[in-house]
Structure 1
Amino acid sequence: MIAERGIAVDHTTIHRWTVRFAPLLLEHFNRRKRSVTGKWHVDEAYVKVRGDPQE
């Protein structure tokens, strides 16, 4: 995308940007991420096995 706009950037510059900004992005994304709870909700199931209803 940068080359399409006529900007010449070396691959080492891209690597430096990645090393510099990846931890900042990770921190920002982790702050916005929803927490995971220990609660699970399971619905009741009704299964018929060989004609006999099982719960």
Structure 2
Amino acid sequence: MRSRKSLFKGRQFTAEVILWAVRWYLQFPISYRDLERMLADRGVAVDHTTIFRWIQVYAPELDKRLRPHLSMTIGS
């Protein structure tokens, strides 16, 4: 498993900004362009295609790291 530092090495944006975008995209039904506007409202200028690339790279990594911590549900 790669360390957090090496996972984000060479990126123009901080790990915190990238993780915000990926988490929001995965948690809410939102488009890349809407997410671009949300980040712009917070002072972060990033293109929607960059957000798309972040999702492609970091979403599987987040899933891999979080899945063991999720509890199993048995319900209807």
TM-score range, shorter chain: 0.5 to 0.7
For each residue in 1:4-55, what CA deviation from the matched residue of structure 2 results, as whole angstroms up to 9, or x when unmatched? 122211110000000010001111121112357xxxxxxxxxxxxxxxxxxx
Alignment of 1:5-24 (within 5 A): 5-24=42-61
- Which structure has more relative contact order (CA 8 Å, sep 6+)? It is 2
Pairwise CA RMSD: 2.0
Distance in structure 1 (CA, Å) of the matches to 2:68 and 2:56: 20
User: Paired residues, what number?
Assistant: 37
Alignment of 1:1-55 (within 5 A): 1-35=38-72
TM-score normalised per structure 1: 0.53
The percent of aligned pairs where both chains have the same amino acid is 44
Task: Identify unmatched segments of 5+ residues in structure 2.
Answer: 1-37
- Would you identify which runs of 4 or more consecutive aligned residues in structure 1 move more than 3 Å? none
Distance in structure 2 (CA, Å) of the matches to 1:18 and 1:35: 25
TM-score normalised per structure 2: 0.40
Higher strand share: 1
Higher helix share: 2
